[in-house]
Amino acid sequence: MKISIPKISMPNITYNAPVVLTYTLIAFLVFLIDAYLLTDFSKKYFSVASFSFYNPMDYFRMISHTMGHSGWGHFFGNIMFIAALGPILESKYGSWTMLEMFSITAVLSALYTVCLSSTGMYGGSGIVFALIVAASITNSKEGNGIPLTFILIIMIYLLKEVGGLFVDDGISHAGHLIGGGVGAIYGFALLKENDEEIKEVYKGEMNGVKSVGQIPHNKE
């Protein structure tokens, strides 16, 4: 008597959000090295404070500063939002769009730091705010005007950050505002692009219905 053993199929694990996952893995690796191997590793290579055209590392830091974090709380506080919102936006609008948003947020916040701030900066909070604002806008539907979720985000988060600009609490509130601004620009641009795609699809469907209606039909 043969006993059939059912086959257990393993689920396919996909690298579904390349930009978000790669960012998260690098940031986690940097944090581990900083915490357990090399002291001040993040501050040396993954933070931004000044800029010299003649120092190649300064160009790297313009982007890499978003991957450095000061502790577990700082790291997980950012990664939880990025891991929750990032894949949703990346799967819907593409990895290239996500890479653009991350990079522009990083460069603009770094430029603010080297030009206008007296202290250095590191962390992914600017990216977090970009994702929160972009998600709140793109969650709207066509023709609904300004999304209420966007207004709530402005009231809860961004206005709080404006007040934080005048408080010396060791937090880069300007970086948060820059990230929110980038997220707003991308959010409205993506929403408009999505609306245009929906209109094109609807137009094509209507043309198809019209064409079918013009075909001669025999009476039954």
Residue 24 has pLDDT above 70, yes or no: yes
Contact 128, 81 (CB under 8 A): yes
Q: Which domains does the chain have, with CATH numbers?
A: 18-209 (1.20.1540.10)
Q: Which residues pair with 121 in a beta bridge?
A: 48
Residue 72 has pLDDT above 60, yes or no: yes
Contact 136, 154 (CB under 8 A): no
Q: How many CB atoms lie under 10 A from the CB of residue 174?
A: 20
pLDDT (0 to 100) of residue 47: 94
What is the average pLDDT score of the chain?
82
CB within 8 Å of 57: residues ≥ 6 apart: 45
Which band of pLDDT confidence, cut at 50, 70 and 90, is reported for residue 19? very high
pLDDT tens-digit series, residues 90-138: 999 999 999 999 999 999 999 999 998 888 899 999 999 999 999 888 8
Residue 219 has pLDDT above 50, yes or no: no
Residue 143 has pLDDT above 90, yes or no: no
Q: How many CB atoms lie under 10 A from the CB of residue 177?
A: 20
pLDDT (0 to 100) of residue 215: 42
Backbone CA torsion sign across 71, 74, 78, 80: positive
Which band of pLDDT confidence, cut at 50, 70 and 90, is reported for residue 1? low
pLDDT (0 to 100) of residue 12: 78
Residue 66 has pLDDT above 90, yes or no: yes
pLDDT (0 to 100) of residue 2: 59
**Predicted TM-score (pTM) of this structure:** 0.79
Structure tokens at 183: 């997220």
pLDDT tens-digit series, residues 195-213: 555 455 445 554 554 544 5
Structure tokens at 143: 């023709």
Residue 3 has pLDDT above 90, yes or no: no
Task: Give the number of residues written for the chain.
Answer: 220
